[in-house]
Amino acid sequence: MNLIEITDINAPELDVFARVSDSALYNYYKPEPGIFLAESGNVILRALEAGYEPISMLVETSRIEVEAGPVFECIEKLWGKEKLDSIPVYTAKKEVVINLTGYALVRGLWMILRRRPDVTVEDFCQDKRRITVLFDVVNPTNVGAIIRCAAALGMDGALLTAASVDPFTRRSARVSMGTVFQMPWAKATREESESLNLIKTLQKNGFKTVAMALTEDSTSVDNDEIRANEKLAVIMGTEGTGLPKEVIAACDYRVMIPMYHGVDSLNVAAASAISFWELMK
């Protein structure tokens, strides 16, 4: 293996691990697919097993044998020993890594991987029956949790507006327990996300759109008529403000989760789990 001990935290080859934002990583190597950063052994393994190409790695010295070992074995199994030997594996003591990243809760293993080419909304819609749409969901924890729920409860994919958080941000990927690498998802362009373009594209591709919203004509989520549709797109809004009124009005259905004790809403990730469970029945 190509182990490289780090003594200078300002080395430029370490920029991608701590000094480059997630959004900037997305644009690395453009027009080729960019890169992303995965942290913790389990998340890295999920990304590798899903076929994402490893580029470089940063490991705490004390974690090389036990925690990084399965990662090395996975790379060799999937990509071959030559690939494993070519990847720079930067190593450093814990105190050095903390100084590099700027915060103490370090997962000990970080890997840079290459993204896949983006797909259009039209292409994403093909061969799917149940998808969730994250409409301007900007909290990375919620994005990761919703995708984890979608994967666990049998949804076919997740579609995000341009303003939503990238599921490959390190926090989203970590909260999702790596399911962002297993679950098909796509991020719409600004043009595809503009106004009602996304809703219209979904409807043109045969999806009945379901807005999760509390309105006068909202029906309960356990609705057999809605379940009977061949293709459903469940539209989730951002925490707090929810979906824009024009989006709610443009959807085919408006759905709510019945609640008690004066509670009027749930966290969007919790609401997504209930909705997916009911609508997949």
Averaged pLDDT score across all residues of the chain: 90
> Does the pLDDT at position 115 exceed 90?
yes
Classify burial at 104, counting beta carbons within 10 Å of its beta carbon; exposed 0-12, middle 13-18, buried 19 or more. Answer: exposed
Tokens 């609401």 appear where?
Answer: 271
Q: Compute φ and ψ for 244, nearest 5 degrees.
A: -60, 145
What domains can you pick out in the chain, each with its CATH number?
A: 2-114 (3.30.1330.30), 121-279 (3.40.1280.10)
Separation of alpha carbons 211 and 232, rounded Å: 11
Indicate the range of 33-42, 94-103, 121-130, 183-192 predicted with least confidence. 94-103
> Does the pLDDT at position 18 exceed 90?
no
Separation of alpha carbons 100 and 280, rounded Å: 45
pTM value is 0.90
Write out the E strands in the chain: 2-5, 35-39, 54-60, 88-92, 109-114, 130-135, 157-160, 185-187, 208-212, 219-220, 232-237, 253-256
Q: Are 132 and 150 in contact (CB under 8 A)?
A: yes
Q: How confident is the model at residue 107 (pLDDT cuts 50, 70, 90)?
A: low
pLDDT, tens digit (0-9, with 9 covering 90-100), for 205-262: 999 999 999 888 899 999 999 999 999 999 999 877 889 999 999 999 999 998 898 8
> Does the pLDDT at position 105 exceed 60?
no
Q: Are 150 and 276 in contact (CB under 8 A)?
A: yes
pLDDT, tens digit (0-9, with 9 covering 90-100), for 136-160: 999 999 999 999 999 999 999 999 9
Tokens 């994250």 appear where?
Answer: 134
pLDDT, tens digit (0-9, with 9 covering 90-100), for 164-200: 999 999 889 999 999 999 999 999 999 999 989 999 9
Q: How many CA atoms lie within 13 A of 114 on its CB side?
A: 12
Q: Are 74 and 42 in contact (CB under 8 A)?
A: no
Separation of alpha carbons 131 and 16, rounded Å: 32
Mean pLDDT of 53-68: 91
Separation of alpha carbons 90 and 239, rounded Å: 38
pLDDT, tens digit (0-9, with 9 covering 90-100), for 31-58: 677 899 998 899 999 999 999 999 999 9
Kindly state the tokens that stand for 152.
């666990």
Q: What is the pLDDT of residue 106?
A: 54
Segment holding 84, helix H or strand E: helix 81-86
Q: What is the pLDDT of residue 102?
A: 57
